[in-house]
Amino acid sequence: MLPDKRYFDSFFKSAFTVDNVIFGFDEGKLKILLIRRNEEPYADYWALPGYFVQQYEDLDAAAERVLREMTGMENVYLEQLHTFGTPYRHAFGRVITVAYYSLVKIADFRPRAAGVAQDITWHLIDELGVLAFDHLEIVQVALEHLKKSIRTRPIGFELLPPAFTLTELQHLYESVWGTELEKRNFRKKILSMDLLRDVGKVQKGVAHRPAKLYRFDEQRYRELEKEGFNFEVRDGGKK
């Protein structure tokens, strides 16, 4: 039984794209990076930075390339999230999109619009309005994923500057989960994990007692992980 290659041709008429959900945290708020499209379909709409994958390009590599070409951002660690394939989600034909997401320190990058992007900015996660394609749904899936994974993996630190205060860390969790946490218990839990190092500095220019700055000890985390340690922060809920 030899294959008839022509029979298969009918399947080779689709395209796929990658779309990147880039989370940042700034001024105590969770944000995502959006571009404004200058191309149909959805010209002038805000959208996730994403574009077509080339015919023999690896998916992960495509996500990196597209992000770099549209935003100028390099060395962003992208993780695959989910694939969206509703039949008529793109006006030009069958296009499925593989969504990726990443957590970045906003201060590390100065995104500049290029390619299909005429504009680019950080948007508050809860003020997105209408987005191109099914990108709002993609953002929602990414946010749900973030809520879960920030609980059991020490990924929140990727959103914070290299040195941060415990209150900033707490606000990050509160912002992602939309809840309030009890200060003493949060600090006790975090510090008891032995993953933060006092960098010996304090906040400057605040009109109150300045907070100590900490850094995340990634090497220590890797050691603990090998020993079977499980990172976990609970939404203990306040009251």
Nearer to a copy of itself, 64 or 168 (CB): 64
- CA separation for the pair 144, 74 (Å, rounded): 25
Kindly state the smallest distance separating residue 152's Cβ from DNA, in Å.
12
- CA separation for the pair 217, 40 (Å, rounded): 46
- CA separation for the pair 61, 55 (Å, rounded): 12
Q: Does 208 bind DNA (CB under 7 A)?
A: yes
In the list a copy of itself, DNA, none, the entry touching 210 (Cβ below 5 to 8 angstroms by class) is DNA
In contact, 230 and 152? CB cutoff 8 Å = yes
In the list a copy of itself, DNA, none, the entry touching 109 (Cβ below 5 to 8 angstroms by class) is none
* Choices 22-30, 95-103, 115-123, 178-186 (CB under 7 A): range interacting with DNA: 178-186
Q: Does 6 bind a copy of itself (CB under 8 A)?
A: no
Of 29, 68, 85, 174, the one binding a copy of itself (CB under 8 A) is: 85
Q: Does 224 bind a copy of itself (CB under 8 A)?
A: no
In the list DNA, a copy of itself, none, the entry touching 165 (Cβ below 5 to 8 angstroms by class) is DNA
Task: Write b or e for each residue in 16-34: b if 16 or more Cβ atoms lie within 10 A of its Cβ, otherwise e.
Answer: bbbbbbbbbbeeeebbbbb
In the list a copy of itself, DNA, none, the entry touching 2 (Cβ below 5 to 8 angstroms by class) is a copy of itself
Question: Please, what sign has the CA dihedral across residues 63, 64, 68, 71?
Answer: positive
Residue with tokens 């890797």: 222
Beta bridge partners of 46: 36, 131
In contact, 48 and 19? CB cutoff 8 Å = yes
In the list DNA, a copy of itself, none, the entry touching 85 (Cβ below 5 to 8 angstroms by class) is a copy of itself
Question: What residue ranges bind a copy of itself (CB under 8 A)?
Answer: 1-3, 5, 8, 10-16, 38-41, 43, 52-59, 80, 82-83, 85-88, 92-94, 96, 98
